[in-house]
Amino acid sequence: MKIHTLKLNSQASMLTTALLAYGTTAWSADLPTLRDAFKDHFLVGTAINRAVTTGRGFRRSSEQVNTDIALVKAQFNQVVAENEMKWDSLHPRPGADGYDFRAADAFVSFGLNNNMYLVGHTLVWHSQTPHWVFAGTNPPPNTASAAPGTNRFGRYNGPRASREELLQRMRDHIHTVVGRYKGKIKVWDVVNEALSDGGTNTLRTSLWTEIIGPDFIAKAFQYAHEADPDAILRYNDYGLESSAKRRKLIALIQSLQAQKVPVHAIGSQTHVSVAWPSFAEMDRALTEMATLGLPIHITELDVNSAEGGQRSFGADIANNAATTQGGLVSDADRKLAEAYAGLFRAFLKHDPQVKMVTFWGPNDANSWRANGKPLLFDGNSQPKPAFHAVLAEAKRAAAAK
């Protein structure tokens, strides 16, 4: 008991030191790095946007963008495009000449030029998919899909493609995109967020399920494997910290495995809050996911510190205003540090299964949940106490070896 107390005291003192130092430790190239701290455990990555890959834009000054880029290059060894490889970005118009690969190519070039491990996000999703993908001549059912919007202009309720037409479009899209980056993109989020959040149905209702049927998932993985047999094909979803949604994930993946569908990894987005999950809850989630016998990737990690986000575990940007309102919780820096410490303690405990931890943004200024200040670096790329708390977990793991 005494040793345990001593350990806790040493962690607390590290955290206190970090809290006191915050604001005075400017980001600098000689700061310890996440990539080095965890190099014996898992890759540490981040989502990046086109400002980082092109060096300009996105409502940030060129000086701020340059600092963002330096932070990404110094701290991370894996990157994923936040938006630039989604269907509405790289295939906005119908057919073979409807592609626009400029932003995706810039992402791949940035990653290759900086020796990063590249992840592609995402091939098939109910959101950010252009309406043309689902359009056809079949009248929509009278109960028009309640599925959420297929892109930022809202859901598609027009006449629809047939199952065969939509499967062909999906196959053409996947073969073209995966084929273009074969050997460069190592992991693909083949299907994103197909599970339902509530109720007893395993899958959410979407235009993919309504037009093709539930086997759209198996087909997507089949097409991606055809296009690049060496790519790691991942199923990606949020809210898997919840036991109810995790049961659906396990049912889905076991069904795909029974059909010999080439699903090679689980992507757990981990958009969470300072209130939940604790180490114990994340430990249980990873233990149960590991029963599938597949590598686990933490794919979109951020920890919301806003009052409005402490009871929400969704990841739909449409709810972002609500989940980032109300200002920060009290003592936010300490709570964020303790939350991240617990999460990384769980990731390290499940090191054999956890192969990658990707943050959904390099710093708070580049976060879809900026008002929730959810990341390890603030808007000026200064390390927050949570950064030091995460490093302390790596040190603790090294000392325990």
Instruction: Give the residues lining the site for ligand G3I (CB under 6 A).
Output: 82-83, 127-128, 152, 192, 238, 269, 300, 315, 317, 368
Q: Could you check whether the bond before residue 122 is cis, i.e. omega within 30 degrees of 0?
A: yes
193, 210, 338, 393: the catalytic one is 193
Is 193 noted as a catalytic residue in this protein?
Answer: yes
Nearer to ligand G3I, 84 or 378 (CB): 84
Min. distance of Cβ 84 from ligand G3I in angstroms?
9
The closest alpha carbon to 47, from 375, 294, 388, belongs to 375
CB of 301 to ligand G3I, least distance (A): 11
Q: Which is nearer to ligand G3I, 193 or 338 (CB)?
A: 193
Number of H helices, E strands in the chain: 14, 11
Of the candidates 203, 225, 224, 233, the residue with the CA atom closest to the CA atom of residue 215: 203
Q: Which is nearer to ligand G3I, 269 or 381 (CB)?
A: 269
The distance of closest approach from Cβ of residue 230 to ligand G3I in the complex, given in angstroms and rounded to an integer, is 24
The residue among 145 and 268 lying less far from ligand G3I, judged by its C-beta, is 268
Residue nearest to ligand G3I (CB): 368
Distance CA 303, CA 280 (A): 16
**Active-site hit among 300, 307, 338, 393:** 300
State both tokens at 47: 């989502």
* Rounded least distance, CB 28 to ligand G3I, Å: 28
Distance in angstroms (rounded) separating the CA atoms of residues 322 and 240: 21
Q: Report d(CA 30, CA 188) in Å as an integer.
A: 33
Residue 337 in contact with residue 385, Cβ under 8 Å?
A: yes
| End-to-end Cα, the chain, rounded Å | 20
Residues with active-site annotation: 193, 300
